[in-house]
Amino acid sequence: MTTCNSLQVQAFNTADVSEQIRATPGWVQHYQQMSPGHFAGQIRYLDLQGVEVYEEQMNTRVEQNFSAPSGALAFCFDRSDNTLYLLNEESRNIWITPENYQEIAVVFGPEFVRQHGLDVASLEGLFMAPLNCGQNALFGRWLSSTLTKLSQPYDLYSKDSLTQQLLEDCLFLLDNAQVCLDRGGLQRRGEERLIMKRVGEWAADSPEETLNLMELAHVAGVSLRQLQHAFKDFTGMTPSHWLRLRRLNSAHRELLKRRPTETTVAEVAMQWSFWHLGRFSSSYRALFNELPSETLKRSCK
């Protein structure tokens, strides 16, 4: 962690998705690695006392199941396509990032929202909708550059001036993005988002539970076909593939927290319904770039 000036820019380099979560307290979130490789992430964080700025980077694909802090209003900019997503505490969502994902977010806390009379109710229909605006890319580059400059040993902005500029810029971008919104597909996306919200709530509330495909459709309260369409739009994968990767992540977490004297790879594989040890080991190595036995050895160091 690095603290460089009066505005307290902090930077965290992370080597596991659990570390990435701990670097952003206050959010309800659950991360799982969804593409091969040793995870490497970075968080940069600026606390403006009522307004927070986050910049997040991750090298592997990651499932994010999250909602914003209670009472907050968050402006999240996906820098892969420069789309703005507006979140509040009810915007619980599940999706999978691309590889080498970058996001920058401005979070206006509940007290700030109240003091500045931001009418959150009037934004209904915009939460988690992809909002496109020509200035999104410019704002993302400027804010990332500002965090870099603030990491130098001099003051570039005062807290009040930067806070005011962030508020004005975010509201300006939101104002312009609304006219670009494809309202024709908004209802369908809203229905699919509700399906994923139910799945996300189950995944967050029961992280160690396993289900089959039909049971997952029952949890979502929809048909298997509806579940497949929602997953294709929000995660880019089939529900079956998602369930398998979820079980691999659960096994990975179990191996990391146990010692070789406490368990075996075979026991962990069976715990997460991998009945063929060879297939489990090959699938595990394809995702995490190491055998489960290597993870178990590493956990005791």
State residue 16 phi and psi, 5-degree precision: -155, 150
Q: What is the mean pLDDT of residues 258-264?
A: 89
pTM of this prediction?
0.78
- Listed in order, strand segments (DSSP E) in 18-92 are 28-33, 41-47, 51-58, 62-67, 73-78, 83-87
Q: What is the mean pLDDT of residues 31-53?
A: 92
User: What's the pLDDT score for residue 5?
Assistant: 44
Write the single-letter amino acid at 291. Answer: L
* Count of all residues that appear for the chain in the document: 301
Question: Which has the higher per-residue pLDDT, 17 or 300?
Answer: 17
| 299's tokens | 């956990």
Whether 31 contacts 63, CB under 8 Å = yes
Q: What is the mean pLDDT of residues 83-103?
A: 87
| 166's tokens | 């962030």
User: pLDDT by residue (tens digit) across 210-228?
Assistant: 788 899 999 999 999 999 9
Whether 21 contacts 29, CB under 8 Å = yes
**CATH of region 240-301, choose from 2.60.120.260, 1.20.210.10, 3.30.420.40, 1.10.10.60:** 1.10.10.60
Mean pLDDT of the chain: 86
**CA-CA distance, 18 to 14, in Å (whole number)?**
9
Minimal CA–CA distance to 54: which of 19, 13, 104, 20?
104
